[in-house]
Amino acid sequence: QKEVEQNSGPLSVPEGAIASLNCTYSDRGSQSFFWYRQYSGKSPELIMFIYSNGDKEDGRFTAQLNKASQYVSLLIRDSQPSDSATYLCAVTLPSNTGNQFYFGTGTSLTVIP
């Protein structure tokens, strides 16, 4: 079982709509949660991180964490064509050699003008 699961998509939304990306994780010991955006041919860029249950908002982005249900989601409001990218979910798990990062395989988002 993978530590982090994402629907690979592709997810298509019209411009101006809300894009909703979901991620589930398998280990209840997971501590920190991240969303990275990766444009084609580029490296992942950290866009959101969340450490406690609830919502965290940053501009058009909202990260939602539900530890009881073991999922973390990313909402993108007023989606723009420039939001078209692959979104990677990541979690950290503590170990005796420090926290380890685990990444999902990513969800491809296309925003249609």
Partner 1 sequence: KAGVTQTPRYLIKTRGQQVTLSCSPISGHRSVSWYQQTPGQGLQFLFEYFSETQRNKGNFPGRFSGRQFSNSRSEMNVSTLELGDSALYLCASRRSGAQETQYFGPGTRLLVL
Nearer to partner 1, 80 or 100 (CB): 100
- # of chain residues touching partner 1 (CB under 8 A): 22
Which of 1, 68, 95, 113 lies at the binding interface for partner 1 (CB under 8 A)? 95
| Cα torsion 68, 108, 44, 77: sign | negative
Residues 6+ apart with CB under 8 A from 32: 49, 50, 51, 91, 92, 99
Nearer to partner 1, 42 or 77 (CB): 42
Q: Are strands 61-66 and 71-76 parallel, antiparallel or unpaired?
A: antiparallel
Using rule CB under 8 A, residue 18 touches partner 1: no
Per CB under 8 A, which region of 17-25, 61-69, 71-79, 96-104 contacts partner 1?
Answer: 96-104
Give burial (CB, 10 Å; 0-12/13-18/19+) of 98.
Answer: exposed
Q: Which residues bind partner 1 (CB under 8 A)?
A: 32, 34, 36, 42-46, 49, 51, 88, 90, 92, 95, 97-101, 103, 105-106
